[in-house]
Amino acid sequence: MKRNTFNLKNLVTAIFLSYAFDLSAQSAEDDMAMMESMFMASVESGQMVQVGQACVDKMSNKGWQEISTNSKGEKQYYIVGVGTVSAPLQSSAFADSVQNASTKALLDAKTKFSALLNQEIISEILVDAKSQYTEGKPPDLLQNPDQILQGKEYDDLSYLDKMKILVNQQLDKLIDDETKESFNEGVANDNKKAEELTKRLEDILNQEQMTDVIKTKTSADVRGMIVKYGHFSSNVEDGKRPEVCIVTKWSPGLLRMADAVATNDFKVLKNGKKKSPLKDQIPVNAVSEKDFKGYMKLLGSFGTFLMRDENGDLNVVSFAVEGMKSNTPQSEMNARSQAIIKANRQIVQFLNESVELNTKTSTTEALTEYKDGLQDYYFEENHESRQAASAQANISGIQTLATYKGMHFLNQKPLVGAVTYYNPSAAEGAQNAIQALSSAPQKTSGEAVTIDPNAIEKSVEIDTGAEYDDDEDEDF
């Protein structure tokens, strides 16, 4: 009979545990289903889209890895850089800020590349734990009678003590009552705050505080980094700032090309695989040809690219834009000039740029436990980052492939874009021209042409154009 009772108890216990396990499993499944629903909603709403997502997706779709080995057995690097647009959408400088974002994106990529090569990291961690506990009444400490100080009567005071009393008495007479009351109120408030703080400190049972400081530093001279893909994105509804992301590439082969440009080693840059002319590869005539897709491609082109042309020359092509501050011809000319300068600057940055990145992240975390059982949690994080870059080079053979006037569709503000490029054949010709110009003048024959500066201006309106033969075989 006892055995049957024991078995019955075991059976009831097993059924209860099985039921409890089923309830627990069902609850876990419900929790997972709820979390999955939250995950899908966040993904569909775009909350989980990270900064530079378009370039990350491009890397994935193309199969580009951050570090890989090419067909020559050399290491190659693909780095994503991101820069955000600071200007308000309706600002006339919005296009300028987009260009600045592309510059920041390139600097971001170069500093990341530099950190891959070499990085100094300093870590400082401090954990401070304190505990206080008291019980009972504190005892009266036994002291030597000579150590117990006794007060002195006025006649027993020294000359200096009496002088202090006199000075205080005279000062009290000179200071008005309003000043005294104001001072006393301030002291009373400070004392009240000190008493409240003391009381709170007395209520603390345990406290642990952790301070974590991380400092990083990296620097490098980066030569030969090009842009493989650029992307501009902006969505007013998502509340995020517009951004430019780029995918850059560096390899020993690109380094050799950059050094060849810097040293005028034209043999390395010429006689390569022939392709179509640059103007056929780049939609520089998108505005005149009413090519919307081509125009959008121009707006999404940032930084420098390496492109072969119909002669097999390796060209360094650079894209830049500048916003027009007004609709005047002067503003358009200024914007065009600035766009060309910024595009040329990017070619110089391709040759060599010194980059440096310093960061400091400080984190403080504290948990305080009070005697009444309550707990307080505190967290503070501060991050500082400083990026710097400098580039300088003397280079020949930079030309302007095309400029265009357009507008940014986000704010309908006018802008001017420029596409400039370095060509080795042009650079070689420029070097020959420099040598010719540096030689002594030589006598030439021919009739002199005289221009009369006093000729009467017959019209203030002019409409003219010219087409020049592009025959390279000049025999001047």
The alpha-carbon radius of gyration of the chain (Å, integer) is 38
Inside any domain, residue 150: no
As a whole number of angstroms, the distance between CA 220 and CA 59 comes to 24
Inside any domain, residue 9: no
Q: How many domains does the chain have?
A: 1
The DSSP string of 14-78 is HHHHHHHHHHHHHHHHHHHHHHHHHHHHHHHHTTTPPTTHHHHHHHHHHT--SEEE-TTS-EEEE
Q: Tens digit of pLDDT for each residue in 255-280?
A: 999 999 988 888 889 888 899 999 99
CB neighbour class for 6 (10 Å; exposed up to 12, middle 13-18, buried from 19): exposed
Token reading at 329: 């011809």
Identity of residue 18: S
Inside any domain, residue 170: no
Q: Give the number of other Cβ atoms within 10 Å of residue 135's Cβ.
A: 4
The DSSP string of 355-396 is EEEEEEEEEEEEEEEETTS-EEEEEEEEEEEEEEEE------
Inside any domain, residue 71: yes
pLDDT of residue 427: 87
Question: String of b and e for 147-167 (b: at least 16 CB within 10 Å)?
Answer: eeeeeeeeeeeeeeeeeeeee
pLDDT of residue 127: 84
As a whole number of angstroms, the distance between CA 28 and CA 375 comes to 29
346 CB-near residues (< 8 Å, 6+ apart): 106, 303, 304, 318, 319, 320
Q: Is 299 within 8 Å of 232 (Cβ atoms)? A: yes
Inside any domain, residue 33: no
**Helices 94-117 & 329-351, crossing angle to 10 degrees?**
10
**In degrees, to the nearest 5, what angle opens at C-alpha 395 toward C-alphas 389 and 400?**
95
Identity of residue 291: D
What residues are paired with 419 via a beta bridge? 319, 402
In this prediction the pTM is 0.71
Token reading at 177: 């009552």
Helix or strand or coil: residue 207? strand
**CA atoms within 13 Å, Cβ hemisphere of 88:** 3
Inside any domain, residue 154: no
Helix or strand or coil: residue 337? helix
The DSSP string of 456-471 is PP--S-----------
Inside any domain, residue 441: no
Helix or strand holding residue 190 (H, E): helix 177-203
Residue 347: give the domain boundaries.
48-127+215-436
Q: What is the DSSP letter of 412?
A: T
Inside any domain, residue 442: no
Q: Tens digit of pLDDT for each residue in 136-149?
A: 776 665 555 555 55
- The residue with tokens 């392709």 is 275
Per-residue pLDDT of the chain (476 residues; tens, 9 = 90+): 444 554 656 665 666 556 555 656 677 777 788 887 888 887 777 777 788 899 999 999 999 999 999 988 999 999 999 999 999 888 989 999 999 999 999 999 999 999 988 888 888 888 888 777 667 776 665 555 555 556 677 777 787 887 887 777 777 777 787 887 888 788 788 877 777 666 666 677 788 888 888 888 888 889 999 999 999 988 766 777 889 999 999 999 999 999 999 888 888 898 888 999 999 999 999 999 999 999 999 998 999 999 999 999 999 999 999 999 998 999 999 999 999 999 999 999 998 888 888 888 898 888 888 877 788 888 888 888 888 888 887 888 899 999 999 988 888 899 999 999 999 988 888 888 877 777 777 665 555 545 454 544 443 332 333 222 333 332 22
